[in-house]
Structure 1
Amino acid sequence: MTSENVSNTMANIDEMMYSCGVEILHPGGLEKTFEMANDCKINKDSNVLDIGSGKGITAIHIAQKYGCNIIGVDMSSNMVEYAKQAVSKKKLSEKISFMNLDAQKLPFDDNSFDVVFAECSTVLMDKERAFREFIRVTKPGGYVADLEMSWQKVPDKKAVDKAFEIWGGFSTKTFDEWRDFYIKMGLTDIKINNFSDKMQNMEMLYIKTLGITGILKMSWYMLINKSLRRGMIEYNNFFKDSKDYIGYGYFVGRKE
């Protein structure tokens, strides 16, 4: 299976999980999303850019909780269309909008946003290129925040290569490396929240969220779709084999 096919399969797995009832795919769920938002001082006057906005779930919850204005950007036109429909149903179109574009080439003016907010997306990008854009469009004194799967310790080559293969170009950093990267990019007041312990409860959380109907629906998808079934096996084996390395956390820095 080529890298492109693997990447497409993993994207399809995410879409399958969403369609079966899982809203938040990362450990810690909305609790950690809101903690990161609080560390960014998001309030009703904030203009927020949501990177890799997917189906708009994070943007909707953030707008509902804080009353801020949000623009979400995503490379997937399907995700953007779904997000627009979801926002319309929630009657939040005056607060939230979505654009289908590359987050590494943002069309916004310098110093446009109070907060640039990313979840589980920059590990698939050229990080320096992406963060230069994130920082460029952030107002002085504003925040750049990123929640990502990270290495708890320096991984062996097998884990790095397997992660790169499964996610079609995935690469991440240890928590210390993320801190050094934020410093290198010129961000200050850096805060790191390591919640790797939440990964232990991911499977049970998914089961609880899906319920019987969602589990049956997911089982049916995998029964009729060989690539999804193979992708899920690869995904689960990777997490099992690399459990000593894989962690999750978020990183917040302020633009001077």
Structure 2
Amino acid sequence: MTVHHDSSLLRNAFETDAFAYYDTKRHDALNLDLGHSDGFYHHHFAVGDFDRSILNLTGTQRQEAINRELHRMETHQVDTLEEALGPVAREARILDAGSGRGGTAFLLHRTFGCRIDGVNFSTYQNDFARDQARRHGYADTVRFHDLNMTDTAFPDASFDYVVSNETTMYVDLDEAFTEFARVLKPGGCYVLLTWCVNDAVTDAPPEAAAIDEHYHCHTHRRSSYLSSLIKAGLTPYQVDDLTRRALPYWELRSESPLASGVEQPYLSGYQSDRVNYIRIAARRRADPMAKP
């Protein structure tokens, strides 16, 4: 059953600002306008290198090749989540926390065949994702709910896995991770991908401030992720710094005619190591309140 809610899901000015940004068609034009050869729409970034020969092309041919390559990279970004999840049984349930326009959920379902529930407080994005689910014949197995990811209303221990793909910069980490631990079964796995402040280098890099202004978000400190996970009863067992692997995407995106202006802060942040791109996998302890 799809659960519908309204803007009462928004509890503070920060969430209201994010809602105003993502509940309209104003979000990143680059990700909306790329050629979507697989029929899915993505709003995430990417890791891995690109075909550098396309930079030798000129004119329209070059622009189209760049945008195709960006979309290919964005699609394969979900592989980075799948690697950390490992084998997933067809009977499993996955919660996609902050599911956007549905690209991550659809690709996870295509790989594992299991049921996916996406939660997102943007009605605009959810309506788009639900329409895509119908178009692809996934409406019974990939469902999108108008819910706040920090208060999902699902029963305790509903899911085998939770994923968040570049969405934790829109939530209070303690609040979100406590909710994820609640809805995970004991021993269940949570995997996140995100950018963050490398507070081993600096607490307030200018690049993070520019990214936050552009995306109406809050880039958390790297150390905050680990401390909040442990506090919530989620024990990290894999932490990967993917910053260097994330650089080529921004190099290529800066060459696109659809570049949005946020490319340079990511490039500078990643090159200086002041901003990181990380993947963390954590497991729910049998007793979330017990010390790890």
* 1:194–1:137 distance in 2 versus 1, CA, 3 Å: same
What secondary structure is seen at the aligned counterpart in 2 of 1:12?
A: coil
* 1:35–1:6 distance in 2 versus 1, CA, 3 Å: closer
1:30-49 matches, within 5 Å, as 30-41=75-86, 42-49=88-95
Higher helix share: 1
* 1:130 maps to which of 129, 153, 176: 176
* 2:142 maps to which of 81, 96, 101: 96
Q: Deviation per CA, 1:176-204, whole angstroms, max 9, x where unpaired?
A: 44333322222225211221112221145
2:46 corresponds in structure 1 to 27
Report the residue type matching 2:195 in the other structure. M
* 1:123–1:252 distance in 2 versus 1, CA, 3 Å: same
* 1:65 maps to which of 111, 120, 131: 111
Q: Deviation per CA, 1:57-97, whole angstroms, max 9, x where unpaired?
A: 11111101111100111121111111111111111112111
Contact kept? 2:160, 2:188, Cα under 8 Å = yes
1:254 equivalent in alignment to 2:267: no
Contact kept? 1:63, 1:70, Cα under 8 Å = yes
Output the CA distance in 2 between the equivalents of 1:163 and 1:6.
Answer: 17
Shift of residue 5, structure 1, vs aligned partner: 8.9
1:168 corresponds in structure 2 to 216
Output the CA distance in 1 between the equivalents of 2:191 and 2:123.
Answer: 24
* 1:201 maps to which of 229, 248, 258: 248
Q: For structure 2, list consecutive stretches of 5 or more residues without a partner in the other structure.
A: 1-12, 48-73, 286-292
TM-score, normalising length: structure 1: 0.79
* 2:265 maps to which of 235, 238, 253: 238
Output the CA distance in 1 between the equivalents of 2:137 and 2:19.
Answer: 36
TM-score, normalising length: structure 2: 0.70
**Which of 1 and 2 has higher RCO (CA within 8 Å, sep 6+)?**
1
1:8 equivalent in alignment to 2:21: yes
Q: What is the number of equivalent residue pairs in this alignment? A: 234
Report the residue type matching 1:194 in the other structure. D
Shift of residue 31, structure 1, vs aligned partner: 4.1
Report the residue type matching 1:131 in the other structure. F
Output the CA distance in 2 between the equivalents of 1:6 and 1:240.
Answer: 27
Output the CA distance in 2 between the equivalents of 1:107 and 1:59.
Answer: 19
Contact kept? 1:115, 1:142, Cα under 8 Å = yes
Output the CA distance in 1 between the equivalents of 2:252 and 2:92.
Answer: 31
Shift of residue 40, structure 1, vs aligned partner: 2.6
Output the CA distance in 1 between the equivalents of 2:83 and 2:267.
Answer: 32
2:128 corresponds in structure 1 to 82
Q: Deviation per CA, 1:83-126, whole angstroms, max 9, x where unpaired?
A: 11111111111211111121111110000000111111111111
What secondary structure is seen at the aligned counterpart in 1 of 2:218?
A: coil
Identity level (%) = 21
Output the CA distance in 1 between the equivalents of 2:121 and 2:84.
Answer: 27
Q: CA RMSD in A?
A: 3.0
Output the CA distance in 2 between the equivalents of 1:37 and 1:43.
Answer: 13
Contact kept? 1:188, 1:255, Cα under 8 Å = yes
1:187 corresponds in structure 2 to 234
* 1:200–1:128 distance in 2 versus 1, CA, 3 Å: same
1:119 equivalent in alignment to 2:148: no
Output the CA distance in 1 between the equivalents of 2:108 and 2:264.
Answer: 33
Shift of residue 148, structure 1, vs aligned partner: 0.4
